[in-house]
Amino acid sequence: MIMPVRTAADLLPLLPELVVAGGAFALLMLDLFVGERRRFLTHLLGIALLVAVVAMVAAGVGGHGTVLSGMFVRDAAADVLKLAICAVSALALIYTWPYLRERGLYKGEVTVLMLFAVLGMMLLVSANSLVMVYVALEMLSLCSYALVVTDRDSPWGSESGIKYFVLGSLASGLLLYGLSLIYGATGTLDLASIAAAARESSSPLMLVTGLVFVVAGIAFKFGAAPFHMWLPDVYQGAPTPITLFIGSAPKLAAFGMTYRLLEVAAGPLEDHWRMMLAALAVLSLALGNLGALVQSNLKRLLAYSTVSHVGFLFIGFAGGGAQGFSAAMFYAISYALMSAAAFGAIVVLSSCSPTAGGFEADRIDDYKGLNARSPWLAGLILCIMASLAGVPPFLGFWAKLAVLRAALDGGLMWLAIVGVVFAVIGAFYYLRVIKAMYFDAPEGQMPEAKANRPLRIVFGVNALALLALGLAWNPIMAWCQKAFAG
């Protein structure tokens, strides 16, 4: 029976989501009344809103609890993910403004769509029902589809938007079919009740079949092989700040969805989904790294790199238990920061060009000789590539080490060995970018590295954070472990 909300206090755990929803609607109305010259107000208020929500979540405003008839749960794991999602999304909004403004692409709906996508992500990591999982996922997906085609006059953007929409709809159908099988086998939509029914089931064939489809849907949302076919085209076709957004924060939301569906709901079937994720990890590591080796476009290289990083994240999942999930969460947060910095480098370099608006800085050749003109910018990009490659003492090294240790503790030594081998292979294509910056002569007209100062400061903080957090990674890991301590 659905229990009504008796007082406003019953909705306190939902307060951060209500603030994001109210702010998004308010900015949508505000954008109708501000002129083109004052449109930056919408953008600044969007960033301020996300910063305020970060502060609310960090301070624990609203507290933990279960609301909406058990469909929404706020716990320690949800708070960690929400804080990271809002922080990374605010960072994406900062990168978005100068790039889109220079190209005449900025519209108020970009900020609003990002905020509604953030709302979908926040609901997804707190979902405690199959209905909430699907509704939140669709909110995120529909906003992402619209953001990809921000540049309506770009044939690349239109093509990538159509591919994303069609393949995303197919993946949503697979996931929904899997959820329907699970509901049919258990007779409940509540995740905890599904776990209880799975423990008592003597013939879990329908449950396992549903689980296969659910894992396929999860793999698509992450971009894991062999469900990664949309990733390179979407990353290349979308405007770079939009690629930055959809390539970072949604990975955190996908982590939350995976935890809710596999650990909370399908925990009794752990032996099945751990092996499925282990197989997906191997495929993602192989196809992602081998695909990245032959790329000349940096955005496509980072897309295939994403596939390989999802493989590492799945190694943590496959390890199982609290340690496996805490390691995977640490990896997801680390990768979100690294991905934001990597695409931020493209945004900054494209904004440096004396012909800004036409130069995209998305080819590896565009970085040739960068150290000769801007050693500082080249040094920041070096930090990013080293972290992505897993070079100590950068953050990416500790993230890889955490998931490999989780695999060993989970009895999957063979998977840890595969991860180490592909980590070595993957270092090659990151070294290509470093070689281009430091050892190759520039080709054609190169940017003068004079991007606007606020953008360069934000990028510098983002890149150097990968080194600083690599030297002080223990608090973040302890934070992740605490999220699953209960």
Kindly report, residue by residue over 264-318, the tens digit of the pLDDT.
999 999 999 999 999 999 999 999 999 999 999 999 999 999 999 999 999 999 9
Is the pLDDT at 1 greater than 50, yes or no?
no
What is the 3-class SS of the chain, one letter each residue?
CCCCCCCHHHHHHHHHHHHHHHHHHHHHHHCCCCCHHHCHHHHHHHHHHHHHHHHHHHHCCCCCEEECCCCEEECHHHHHHHHHHHHHHHHHHHHHHHHHHHCCCCCHHHHHHHHHHHHHHHHHHCECEHHHHHHHHHHHHHHHHHHHCCCCCCHHHHHHHHHHHHHHHHHHHHHHHHHHHHHHHHCCCEHHHHHHHHHHCCCCHHHHHHHHHHHHHHHHHHCCCCCCCCHHHHHHHCCHHHHHHHCCHHHHHHHHHHHHHHHHHCHHHHHHHHHHHHHHHHHHHHHHHHHHHCCCEHHHHHHHHHHHHHHHHHHHHHHCHHHHHHHHHHHHHHHHHHHHHHHHHHHHHHHHCCCCCCCCCCEHHHHCCHHHHCHHHHHHHHHHHHHHHCCCCCHHHHHHHHHHHHHHHCCCHHHHHHHHHHHHHHHHHHHHHHHHHHHCCCCCCCCCCCCCHHHHHHHHHHHHHHHHHHHCCHHHHHHHHHHCCC
Is the model's pLDDT at 443 over the cut of 80? Answer: no
- In the predicted model, what is the mean pLDDT of the chain? 90
Residue 154 has pLDDT above 60, yes or no: yes
pLDDT at res. 155: 80
Q: What's the sign of the alpha-carbon dihedral 223, 399, 396, 143?
A: positive
- Residue 44's nearest CA partner among 100, 102, 93 is 93
Average pLDDT of the segment spanning 405-412: 94
| pLDDT (average), residues 461-484 | 93
> Is the predicted pLDDT of residue 5 greater than 60, yes or no?
no
Mean pLDDT value across residues 190-200: 93
Q: What is the pLDDT averaged over residues 439-454?
A: 68
Domain ranges of the chain: 12-483
Which pLDDT band, with edges at 50, 70 and 90, does 354 fall under?
Answer: very low
pLDDT at 450: 54
- Least confident among 66-80, 172-186, 352-366, 459-473: 352-366
Residue 362: band (very low, low, confident or very high) from pLDDT cuts 50, 70, 90: confident
Query: Given this model, what pLDDT does residue 128 score?
Result: 95
The average pLDDT across 66-70 equals 90
Q: Are 256 and 340 in contact (CB under 8 A)?
A: no
pLDDT at position 231 is 92
249-258 and 298-319 are packed helices; what angle lies between their axes, rounded to 10 degrees?
20
pLDDT band per the 50, 70, 90 thresholds, residue 326: very high
Beta-bridged to residue 129, according to DSSP, are: 190
pLDDT value of residue 263: 93
- The whole-number average pLDDT for the span 437-454 is 71
Half-sphere exposure of 24 (CA within 13 A, CB side): 21
Q: Which residue has the higher pLDDT, 151 or 119?
A: 119
How many other C-beta atoms are found inside a 10 Å radius of the C-beta of residue 388? 27
Tell me the pLDDT band of 442, cut-offs 50, 70 and 90.
confident
Lowest-confidence segment of 99-108, 182-191, 382-391, 416-425 by average pLDDT: 99-108
Residue 31 has pLDDT above 80, yes or no: yes
Q: What are phi and psi of 51, to 5 degrees?
A: -65, -40
Report the pLDDT value the prediction gives residue 47, as an integer from 0 to 100: 95
Indicate the pTM of the whole model.
Answer: 0.95
pLDDT mean over 448-475: 86
- pLDDT of 11: 83
Residue 356: predicted pLDDT? 47
Segment 339-359 mean pLDDT:
77
Q: Which residues in 103-123 are b (16+ Cβ under 10 Å) and which e?
A: bebbebbbbbbbbbbbbbbbb
Report the percent of the chain where pLDDT is more than 90. 76
pLDDT at residue 352 in the model? 63
Q: What is the mean pLDDT of residues 42-71?
A: 93
Q: Which of 301, 327, 302 is nearest to 313 (CA)?
A: 327
Residue 333 pLDDT more than 50? Answer: yes
343 vs 132, 142, 273, CA distance in Å?
A: 31, 22, 32
Please state, in angstroms and rounded to a whole number, the distance separating the CA atoms of residues 58 and 83. 7
pLDDT band at residue 3 under the 50/70/90 scheme: very low
The total number of residues shown for the chain amounts to 486
CB 188 within 8 A of CB 135: no
pLDDT at residue 75 in the model: 94
